[in-house]
Amino acid sequence: MDPRKRLTVLHRRLEACKACPSMIGPVVHGPPIVTPVLLVGQAPGPREGAFGRPFAWTAGKTLFRWFEAAAGVSEQEFRDSVYMSAVARCFPGKAGGKGDRKPDRDEMANCQQFLAGEVDILRPRLVIPVGSVAIEQVLGHKGPLVEVIGKALPVRWHGVETDAICLPHPSGVSTWHHVEPGRTLLARALDLIARHPAFVGAFAPKRRQRAGAA
């Protein structure tokens, strides 16, 4: 079956999932884009369900600002060219203090089948885990962000050999990327992503179309 059709079938299964009683729907996912670049976030925030797309609110504005500055791509270009996934697909609710609750181990396990299915369909050559929860899922890394951000790390994930280039979470709650060494490591990571052959290749068709139209 065509990869786009396979993704559409997976999305229907995902939308019908009711496995996690504490999670708040609706399920959030992007369109069935076939691309060599897969971005993995933590979970939707409280606004994403209403908009029906990942990273649709404050954290997304920061994330897309990073990519526009580093790679010269707009938010819409990014959404059209990068498959955006997450460790969990429903809003986990608010934490006791500031910020959103992190999905628990069972909730992440319930969503794992869908993430594994996306990896199997896309066979990505570049994975971009965003935030410590996604980084742990992709790399199994539980240590400080300074140990992984700013590097291109080869990894075998769900049976696929790929490169992982990690980013800190763009949430306004986090200050990691505003101070050193986080600021420098973020810039290094974004530069690595912008120059990665899979990322360049993902945007090439639309850039050729725009050049031809001009």
How far apart (Å, rounded) are the C-alpha atoms in residues 147 and 186?
A: 12
Angle at 91 between CA 101 and CA 10, to 5 degrees: 130
Strands 160-165 and 152-157, bridge-based pairing: antiparallel
pTM of this structure: 0.95
pLDDT at position 211 is: 58
**Tens of pLDDT, residue by residue, the chain (214 residues):** 899 999 999 999 999 999 999 999 999 999 999 999 999 999 999 999 999 999 999 999 999 999 999 999 999 999 999 999 999 999 999 987 677 899 999 999 999 999 999 999 999 999 999 999 999 999 999 999 999 999 999 999 999 999 999 999 998 788 899 999 999 999 999 999 999 999 999 998 766 666 555 5
Answer whether 54's CB lies under 8 Å from 28's CB: yes
pLDDT at position 99 is: 79
How far apart (Å, rounded) are the C-alpha atoms in residues 128 and 198?
A: 11
Answer whether 37's CB lies under 8 Å from 198's CB: yes
pLDDT at position 58 is: 92
Angle at 30 between CA 26 and CA 35, to 5 degrees: 155
How far apart (Å, rounded) are the C-alpha atoms in residues 82 and 63?
A: 13
pLDDT at position 208 is: 62
First-to-last C-alpha distance (Å) of the chain:
35
Does the N-terminal peptide bond of residue 26 adopt cis geometry, omega within 30 degrees of 0?
yes
- Helix (H) and strand (E) counts in the chain: 8, 5
Output Rg (C-alpha) for the chain, integer angstroms.
16
pLDDT at position 95 is: 84
pLDDT at position 207 is: 65
Q: Judge: domain 3-213, CATH 3.40.470.10.
A: yes
